[in-house]
Amino acid sequence: MAATTDTDHEHDHAERADAPGSPPPTRRRRLGPLALAVSVFGELLITAGVLLGLFVVYSLWWTNVLADRAAGRQADEVRDTWAREAGGDGGPGALDTKAGIGFLHVPAMSDDEILVEKGTSMKVLNDGVAGYYTDPVKSALPMSGKKGNFSLAAHRDGHGAKFHNIHKLEKGDPIVFETKDTWYVYKVYGILPETSKYNVKVLAPVPEESGKQKAGHYITLTTCTPVYTSRYRYVVWGELVRTEKVNSERTPPKELR
């Protein structure tokens, strides 16, 4: 019996391929110009979607991580400074440190303490803190003892988002500002859910838009609204109801227990 060679196999395969009724060989269909353009456009959309998703993750999550780390380091510096100065001069100058002047506590908005620093620039707020307006006409530090409006701003989304839940505040809710020596307890009395970002009257020493007509000890919280935009401003006003001296254990006032 003769051996079958590779040439014989190839010949048999060719005969079967040419036999009547055999399916034609498969050929790759070439895309027309329109179909090719649609295919390329679809791939670009997918790529753009992936990049947009990564940007959203960076803006709404990773910037929070970085900001919280920065704020944590600065908060530690403030408390370390206070610990070293325990028993020393308790005047206003001793309350201000390079890393911050104190901590804001707003139970209805967050369980976290919020470091307060000087200034409201993006450079300051992007570190995950609240910044106070430095214009002496618009802001009065509570430890100065002078009547006025202690006005603060913070991000509502990204970069720590410290005022993200500002909409949860209601009239009567406490806002507590902690310094080295004193707890300042405010009570919310006015809320403005939306106003122009150019409306500086909300920061006035006597914020008449809140309904007040006389000088007093006020606090104002401002942030962007709606969430994830910066089109308008959300404003909350509070009025000082009392102060408490900080004891050696730094026991918080009843509003924070």
Annotated catalytic residues are 224
CA end-to-end distance (rounded Å), the chain: 101
Query: Is-contact 224 214, C-beta < 8 A?
Result: no
**Tokens at residue 221, please?**
């919280």
d(C-alpha 249, C-alpha 254), whole Å: 14
Which residue's structure tokens are 């390079």?
98
E strand spans, 40-143: 102-105, 113-118, 130-132
DSSP 8-state secondary structure symbol assigned to residue 156: S
Question: What are 153's strand-pairing partners?
Answer: 131, 222
Question: What does residue 45 show for φ and ψ, rounded to 5 degrees?
Answer: -65, -40
State yes or no: cis peptide before 25, omega within 30 of 0.
no
Which residues, other chains included, contact 170 with Cβ-Cβ below 8 Å and sequence gap of 6+? Answer: 108, 188, 191
